[in-house]
Amino acid sequence: MLRTALLSLLLLAIAAPVAMADPESVKVKNFEFTPAKIRIAQGDKVKWRNVEGTHTVTMDQREIEMDAILSGDADITSEKFKKEGVYKYVCTLHIESENMKGKVIVGDGDRDE
C-alpha cells in the first residue's frame, strides 16, 4: 500500500505541468521606462512593452547586446541574463530624456547602489 501511494505521488509530480514564470515587464510610455529600475533573478528575462510612440531599447554590454525598435503596440523580450550585475539601457531616439534610461539589476549585482 505504501508502495502504491509513493508511486502515485511520483506519477503526479512527473505529470504536473511545469509553471513557467512570465518575464518581468517594463512599460514604455510618455517618454519613460516604468519602472526605470527592475530587479530579476539570474537566468530571467525582461519584456519591454511599448504603449505609444517609437522608441528603442538599446543595451551594449559584454554579456548582453540589444538594439530593438519598438513602435505602436509592440514588445520585445530579452535573452536570459546569465550573470549578476547591473545592465543599463537607453532609448537612443530620446537619449536626452532622463526618463528614457533604465537598469536591469540581476541578483545582488547592485551592492554599492
Query: Domain total for the chain?
Result: 1
User: Does 5 map to a domain?
Assistant: no
| pTM of the predicted structure, to 2 decimals | 0.75
User: Does 33 map to a domain?
Assistant: yes
User: Does 4 map to a domain?
Assistant: no
Question: What percentage of the chain carries pLDDT values higher than 70?
Answer: 80
What CATH number is associated with residue 67? 2.60.40.420
Triad 106, 108, 112: Cα angle to 5°: 110
Nearest to 40 by CA among 108, 89, 112: 108
Lowest pLDDT segment from 8-17, 39-48, 67-76: 8-17
pLDDT, tens digit (0-9, with 9 covering 90-100), for 62-93: 778 888 999 988 999 999 999 999 999 999 99
User: Does 112 map to a domain?
Assistant: no
Parent domain of 98: 20-106
User: Does 9 map to a domain?
Assistant: no
Judged against a pLDDT cut of 80, whether residue 45 lies above it is answered with yes
